[in-house]
Amino acid sequence: MALGPRPERLASALAVLGADATLADAATLAALDRPEAVRAADALIGANVLGLEEPLRFAHPLVRAAV
């Protein structure tokens, strides 16, 4: 993934936490503050890694497996 370290950390945290992860939980696990986590999530959504719905979910199970 070439999105940078913060989106990569957030994606990894979401993969570990599973389908019902909240942004707050993933941010805590990824050691990101709220604004960093929001920007990271926006980058992941823009790259079609995450879908638009809450709770945050990967766009496809294969994407989650790749992360």
Domain annotation covers residue 66: no
Query: What's residue 29's pLDDT?
Result: 97
Q: 3-class SS at 58?
A: strand
29 or 65: which carries more pLDDT confidence? 29
Domain annotation covers residue 58: no
Distance of alpha carbon 54 from its chain centroid, rounded? 12
Q: What is the residue range of 31's domain?
A: 5-53
Q: Which DSSP helix (H) or strand (E) runs through 50? A: none
Query: What's residue 46's pLDDT?
Result: 94
Domain annotation covers residue 60: no
55 or 1: which carries more pLDDT confidence? 55
The model's pLDDT over 18-51, given as tens digits with 9 standing for 90+, comes to 888 899 999 999 999 999 999 999 999 999 999 8
- How many domains does the chain fold into? 1
Q: Tokens in use for 29?
A: 């696990």
Confidence at 54, pLDDT banded by 50, 70, 90: confident
Side chain identity at residue 57, one-letter code: R
